Chains A and B, each alone.
Chain A
């Protein structure tokens, strides 16, 4: 290609002529691409902490780029860039716990790990699933920003957009960057390249029009044409996506079926399909996975899956529960009580970092396995014990923009409570009493926990669990959300039939020296009735696979009266799960603040006090739902783009003039009594004849044209019009009578041959040919 597109030097910034406006345009485009990436990084650091540091780093990088661009050539900048990359990698490396020895002895491990992270991202796993994402975000950001802006200031726009675009692509591949922001970034690249080309060539302004048209076409196409096949092809207009967003996924698919990311949704359906038959000595919570990172709008699970090679470590003392599970419909989840230690009877299994089992492939109905779980031993609880530091940091993470009133209400609620167990019990009880159960809710905007506590009256298990974890974490208690199945239909002693509608989300709290203990803030009694109705309806409708042989004849009689005292308002039986006998509580006594199950209790909290608080500016969620599932402002923006494209396009083809001409040809309302009438009539008649006969040739006189026409056509009106026009033009015979006549005749001629607003049709009358 030879010729450089730009001159590689720095210029002072003056807005003097159009070239400088082009430069502004190109840099605006670069800002747009950068914004897409930086926004993503900012979101990550809001969730995980360090957002201010990120912004400082990015700003410093841009300023540095400006300074270096003033004087130094590309090679220097590349050296600086390489240095920054190296430093950032080192910084991240040490932050995730590497040490110098590792570099020397096992370099390949490091490379393998980096490759692994890269592949993770490329395959669509959110960057939040990587270990120390916040450190990664802060260390990764400055280097490419620096290089991209250096190149931008030096007017190497193609390279700049490559660097900035590549940075953005990371988040597009990982699935973190939403459709709208991706389009925003792509548009930025287009603007940078376009205006960059204009600047280098001192192009005239008419090219900008073309650029606007192209951008409008791009935006519309990206929205409407599914180039990449798959559910999300229609971008934000997609309704096909069954896993997350919007249209009524089942509770099971949202809770149990989410992979490493769980997005909290609105209304959910309950599925009566049978999943498992479980034989288990205790009625425990059968966990399929946990989520440890709260984003404000959902959950992310960090950590990788490792192949299962044998029994895992569990709590040292504590009761062992054996569960025999038979799979009743195809699924890959392997529910087991916390904490599962060994599994048998299965082929390839993987274990997550948090101890849950996952099958490598979907399992067919009829498959059975046996799993052994060790429950925590409440005797190990050490009220004055400390949390392991890393665990504490990890499981008290909360987004920076979560409103502080969550912390405040928790503080007031747990005043006087000692230790994690008391706090957990209080919060659990409060949520059960304070909120109602319903799966018919709308997804709130903003932080889900805050919204549920202060603005919603009811929700389902995900909301309860999320709120409780958020409250615990704000009180410095390590906690996480667990998902799985609970409370199946009891069909025999120790046998339970578990359905999709039994999928559930609850809370695990770390208690020093005893490990993770289970709590469930969802009020139990309310949800049983509706499940019964659904099952009975499904049975009536003959829906398949809602029963096993054992359950078919039994009513779905969820029996909340688990401790047999005849009271149906028991709390969910997490006592079993926590290794206790029925009547024990974890910690109790006459003075403890934990209310009796079912008792009316005044917790002394007035939520209105907190509602009045300013929640502080929150980052609007990426997918606040408005019209079509798009946020309203984005719809406006899209419309603006399309509109500008149309305007530019219309201007380009002179639509305005063309339309006017068409109108003038088709209608001539009134004679003005001047030569104008005759000229215009002649033009109109020629227009008609052009399609009916043939167009007049460039050098052909009108007289000759008319003569040739009349030789093959017998058209008195046309003849008369030509005659009038000639007399007007050459003999000066212009008066109102003639003018009216010529206009009238012409109107008739046109009316005969022209369909309203449409094409010319051949005349129906007197064509003698």
Chain B
């Protein structure tokens, strides 16, 4: 949809028109001198600009953007040109509040498309678009703008903080649950058996052991898992903090073999079989609003301000601050090495 008036000149284009009018008039009045060498190029530039911009077809533009991300993350948005326009132009892609864009408005070579960075500032459901692309001539004298209404949604999950193992164990003790050993999603590595799903193959290790068929990850069985009900409430300013905390706790607990149910002002989430739980929880927490849940869980988080450290956690009669639970990083590589050491060094004699 062309949004400009009949004569698609830019401000610069009108300036050039004005200039050549002045040149023309002065040339008529006082003699041509060498003014033709000023007039002709400017005139040609205008003619070419108008002609180019008039006959250009709507450029095909396609936006590529990830569907989700986490608060604080930076994602790349790519605008791809799907047609050959052969022109220069400008692009302006709108982003919703909570996303900070750098380079979403830029001058571009249309056929080369455009890439810009998006910083995810706030959690929630955001959108990118609509987009407008202007086609101009080389000198910027005329332009035509095309609108692209396609809007892409981007779901931004809350931040996940690391929960230190000491803190987590303290919490578990208070809540009366037993944590599994610290490990990652999978329990251990072992050799492939025919009934194993191909998805469970741990490629990295398999590559290191070419003499063996494959190495697979073995997951903790469902029945081994304990359950915990997490709940949380927040004031208007604290909903972000609450979401972050609940996300952090859920991630940590699930990793240590605990099934997590969630109870918030928005509703409840029951655990299901499989690792989808975390994703479902994160999706729900992405859009979490302030308020109180209908019931308190085994672990109840209260966040009344934006600072996660100030939030309190009630477990039974005990109260701790979230700050006391936060801990350092554990090297994931070290974990993996440890798991690797459990695989038999030689091939299994079979």
Contacts and interface: CB of A to CB of B under 8 A. Distances in A.
A318 B202 CA distance: 120
A173 B25 CA distance: 12
B139 A193 contact: yes
B116 interface: no
A222 B88 contact: no
B32 interface: yes
Q: How large is the interface on B (under 10, 10 to 19, 20 to 34, 35 or more residues)?
A: 35 or more
Interface stretch (B40-48, B189-197, B245-253, B277-285): B40-48
Contacts of B28: 228-230
Given A1-B10, A228-B28, A207 B138 contact: yes
B37 A182 contact: yes
A204 to B, nearest CB: 6
Contacts of B140: 5, 158, 193, 197
A218 B36 contact: no
B106 interface: yes
Contact of B30 (A123, A218, A226): A123
Contacts of B139: 190, 193-194, 197
Interface string B8-41: 0011100000000001101111111111111111
Nearest to B24: A228
B86 A221 contact: no
A227 B32 CA distance: 9
A169 B38 contact: yes
A37 interface: no
A222 B108 contact: no
A695 interface: no
Nearest to B48: A214
A233 B32 contact: yes
Interface in B250-291: none
Contacts of B30: 122-124
A445 B23 CA distance: 32
A36 B215 CA distance: 76
B36 A203 contact: no
B112 interface: yes
A172 to B, nearest CB: 6
B90 interface: yes
Contact of A235 (B36, B45, B86, B111): B36
Residue of B11, B28, B37, B39 contacting most chain A CB atoms (<10 Å): B37
Interface string B85-96: 010101010000
A128 to B, nearest CB: 15
B36 A214 contact: no
B80 interface: no
Contacts of A222: 36-37, 39-41
Contacts of A226: 32, 36
B152 to A, nearest CB: 21
Nearest to A166: B19
Contact of B37 (A2, A179, A203, A206): A179
A214 B35 contact: no
Contacts of B44: 214, 217-218, 221
B40 A221 contact: yes
A204 B32 contact: no
Interface in A289-322: none
Nearest to A227: B39
B109 interface: yes
Contacts of B24: 227-228
Residue of B10, B29, B33, B44 contacting most chain A CB atoms (<10 Å): B33
Nearest to A189: B41
Nearest to A221: B40
Contacts of A189: 41
A159 to B, nearest CB: 11
Interface string A200-221: 1111101100110010011001
A2 B105 contact: yes
B36 A175 contact: no
Interface string B35-78: 11111111111001000000000000000000000000000000
B107 interface: yes
Contacts of B88: 197-198, 201, 203, 207
A interface majority secondary structure = helix
A218 B12 contact: no
A122 B26 contact: yes
Contact of A3 (B12, B48, B86, B106): B106
Contacts of B40: 218, 221-222, 225, 227
B165 to A, nearest CB: 48
Interface in A105-153: 122-124
A419 B248 CA distance: 106
Contact of A206 (B11, B35, B48, B86): B86
B90 A3 contact: yes
A75 B259 CA distance: 62
A230 B31 CA distance: 7
Contacts of A230: 27-28, 31-32
Contacts of A175: 31, 33-34
Interface in B78-136: 86, 88, 90, 92, 105-109, 111-112
B109 A204 contact: yes
Contacts of B23: 228
A738 B104 CA distance: 64
A183 B37 contact: yes
A231 B45 contact: no
A193 B39 contact: no
Contact of A172 (B38, B111, B138): B38
A355 interface: no
Given A201-B109, A218-B45, A228-B27, A235 B37 contact: yes
A396 interface: no
Nearest to A232: B32
Given A222-B36, A228-B24, A232-B34, A158 B12 contact: yes
Contacts of B12: 158
Contacts of A233: 32, 36
A210 to B, nearest CB: 7
A673 interface: no
Interface string A374-409: 000000000000000000000000000000000000
Interface string A80-123: 00000000000000000000000000000000000000000011
Interface string B155-199: 000000000000000000000000000000000000000000000
Contacts of A593: none
Nearest to A218: B41
Nearest to A183: B37
Contacts of A1: 10-11
Nearest to A169: B38
B238 to A, nearest CB: 38
A187 interface: yes
A207 B112 CA distance: 12
A202 B38 contact: no
B81 to A, nearest CB: 11
A524 interface: no
B36 A232 contact: yes
Nearest to B110: A201
Interface in B290-345: none
Contact of A204 (B33, B35, B48, B111): B111
Nearest to A177: B34
A186 interface: yes
Interface in A63-92: none
18 contacts: A2-B105, A169-B38, A172-B35, A173-B33, A180-B37, A182-B34, A193-B138, A193-B140, A197-B138, A202-B109, A204-B112, A211-B138, A214-B44, A217-B48, A221-B43, A226-B32, A227-B36, A229-B32
Given A202-B112, A207-B88, A226-B36, 7 more contacts: A2-B105, A122-B26, A172-B34, A183-B34, A186-B38, A201-B88, A232-B33
Closest 6 CB pairs of A and B: A222-B40, A228-B27, A182-B37, A203-B109, A230-B32, A218-B41
Interface of A: 1-3, 5-6, 122-124, 158, 169, 172-173, 175, 177-183, 186-187, 189-190, 193-194, 197-198, 200-204, 206-207, 210-211, 214, 217-218, 221-222, 225-233, 235
